Amino acid sequence: MDRNPIRILLIEDNPDDARLLQEFLKEAASTRFELAHADRLTVGLQRLDEEVFDVLLLDLGLPDSRGLATFNQAYAYAPGIPIIVLAGLDDDKLAVQAVQAGAQDYLVKSQLDGNLLARAMHYAIERQRLYLDVQRKTSALLYSEARFHNMIEHNADSIVIVDRNGLICFVNPATETLFGRSAQELVGDQFHFSLKPDTTTEIEITRNGKCRTTAIVEMRVVETEWDDHTVYMASLRDITERKQTQEALQRSQAEWQSTFNAMSDWVSLLDVETGQIMRSNRRSDEFVGIPLASVIGQACYKVVHDTEDPIPDCPLATMLNTRRRESIELEMPPGSNCWIMVTVDPVTDEDGNLVSAVHIVRNITKRKQTEKTLQEYSERLEEMVAERTQALEAAQEQLVRREKLVVLGQLAGGVAHELRNPLGAIGNATYYLNMALETPEADVKETLEILEKEVETSEAIINSLLDFARTSPPLLYQVDINNLLQEAINRISAPAGVEVISRLDNTLPSIQADPNHLKPVFENLIRNAIQAMSPPYGTTKGRLVVKSALAEPGWVAVSFVDTGVGIPKENLEKVFEPLFTTRAKGIGLGLALAKSLIEGHGGTLKVESEEGRGSAFVITLPIKDVVP
């Protein structure tokens, strides 16, 4: 075992790959290794400044540097350290370029084991030493010629020394194996390949033997001194197996690409860590207007959404958590009515480890349009049913209400007539007693006054019942609604503390209406508002605003807005029902009669109220005759 360990600097951002390499090095029992790890190129270069390393293992895909530029920076920074490029299966071309630029070797991560890694580092270190020695032409090379020869003899690569005339001067044992010929046969023979110093080329060599075979060889040529003569030293490496692997991969990729290009969806293969598109079919141009060559290496969210970060609910991010298929539907671009469905499927190895993701973009515009049409039809159908149902319910309610009003009117008329005769007798008796008793006692006088007031109240109730019973169709005239409102305001006297404000639109046209129907309605609403702002129902202060305005073309609106006690929410739907009242006096026919009279004109009477803040009664009437 070597006394001094080989010091290795690994620049790799994937912690899993770094741990795997550490395990591989433990498998190589014949050599001791010391491994230092950096996850960024900048960090690795700083370590090279601070420490001495024998070999550099370099991943070309780092967070702060990617591609061939990664190798170029490392090589320029530390040209004396052998660099072995670590590559993925789809990075062969890039790795070959790195080797051509000066890397000692490249290794496919997925094909590594401990012995292969140890041997590759040994060979890289030795080749680097040889290469530097040849390039520098230092005195150290002259003093260590024996060591140099020994190193060539035991080098795994074929080493051929060729003089200026193209004759072979020396071959190592690996060359005999590569050409299938002995050293005696090769030395002195013509070297049949072009030699260009400081270049790397690929050549084909026909092996002699029982079965003549062809080997693909990578040849690197340098000029050096040999027996006091300038010669060419060619280092030849058999890359037949590697080329065959590359060709197989290329065929597989071509088959994969042909299949993908035939699909109507845009299908691509993503790097699960970065979201970058590693492979894709040619549908990208159709979906996002970007040709295939431009999408490779781009992040999927940049290509699809033109954003610098993944979108919310990104299916790739969700899939990384769930490890199952995830989809999202998007309108691209927003407002275009063009829809796509993005689906991401996990791709795992035989051990269940997530290695990549399949990204599928499908045009679902026709489907979404069909769904929208069906939804609109369904919503319209529901709306039509609801409208028709509401109309039927309103008609039924109005019919029932009219029937109730007819019956109630007949009953009210009968009751009023039956009560008027005895009430008249009571009134006459009260009048007679007032005349007969010149100086009645105080309690008798008070009783007679109470009888007079109650008779008056009863007369008012009977008159309301008769008005309700005698409701007739309106007799239409051209009337000025502002005049009717002003007359109603003048007829009702407001107590002190209650302010009545009129805001009448003098530009309103005259309307067709029955003034004998509208006047009692206006007076009733004004009287109710004043009572709501007076004891015992309200305070001693309040304000009533009577307003007229043009509601919409063909209609006028009259509103009565007070600051009284308001109507409880549970009573709002009952205020227009006959016989509903919350007051001690009155039988609850005023608003019912008012609503009936307004609807007789083809208008509406509505109320809005908030308890403790006041009420607003709003009447709308047609300007022309639209009486049903």
- CA–CA separation, 559 and 546 (whole Å): 6
- CA–CA separation, 106 and 103 (whole Å): 7
Which residue do the tokens 């790959």 mark? 17
- How many other C-beta atoms lie within 10 A of the C-beta of residue 318? 16
- CA–CA separation, 544 and 534 (whole Å): 12
**pTM more than 0.85:** no
- CA–CA separation, 277 and 269 (whole Å): 6
Describe the crossing of helices 15-27 and 114-136 by its angle, rounded to 10 degrees: 90
> What is the pLDDT at residue 325?
92
- CA–CA separation, 294 and 541 (whole Å): 80
Three-state SS for 461-526 is HHHHHHHHHCCCCCCCEEECHHHHHHHHHHHCCCCCCEEEEEECCCCCCCEEECHHHHHHHHHHHH
229-238 vs 158-162, strand pairing mode: antiparallel
> What is the pLDDT at residue 586?
59
Q: Supply angle C-alpha 118, 123, 124, rounded to 5.
A: 95
| Amino acid code (one letter) for 127 | R
Cα separation values, 569 from 454, 531, 550, 610, Å: 32, 19, 29, 7
Alpha helices in 329-441 (DSSP H): 365-436
Block mean pLDDT (10 aa), the chain, length 628: 78 89 80 89 91 90 89 89 82 80 85 84 84 65 63 83 91 88 89 89 81 85 87 90 88 78 85 88 80 86 86 88 89 82 90 90 88 84 82 69 60 61 72 73 76 69 58 84 91 85 92 88 88 71 90 91 87 76 64 85 90 90 69
- CA–CA separation, 530 and 7 (whole Å): 102
Q: Decide if 137 contacts 199 (C-beta within 8 A).
A: no
Query: 547-554 long-range contacts, Cβ below 8 Å, gap at least 24?
Result: 547/502, 547/503, 547/504, 547/505, 548/481, 548/482, 548/485, 548/503, 548/504, 548/505, 548/508, 549/505, 549/508, 550/505, 550/507, 550/508, 551/620, 554/622, 554/623, 554/624
> What is the pLDDT at residue 399?
66
Q: Decide if 106 contacts 95 (C-beta within 8 A).
A: yes
Instruction: Check whether the bond before 333 is cis (ω within 30° of 0).
Output: yes
The DSSP 8-state label assigned to residue 167 in this structure reads: B
Q: Decide if 588 contacts 581 (C-beta within 8 A).
A: yes
- CA–CA separation, 380 and 61 (whole Å): 57
229-238 vs 266-270, strand pairing mode: unpaired
- CA–CA separation, 325 and 412 (whole Å): 76
Cα separation values, 103 from 80, 83, 114, 125, 431, Å: 11, 5, 20, 11, 132
Residue 397 burial by Cβ neighbours in a 10 Å radius (0-12, 13-18, 19+): exposed
Q: Decide if 71 contacts 60 (C-beta within 8 A).
A: yes
> What is the pLDDT at residue 395?
67
> What is the pLDDT at residue 345?
92
The number of residues making up the chain comes to 628
What order do you get walking across the sheet with 168-171 strand by strand? 168-171, 158-162, 229-238, 213-226, 199-207
The DSSP 8-state label assigned to residue 248 in this structure reads: H
> What is the pLDDT at residue 72?
92
> What is the pLDDT at residue 468?
55
55-59 vs 83-87, strand pairing mode: parallel
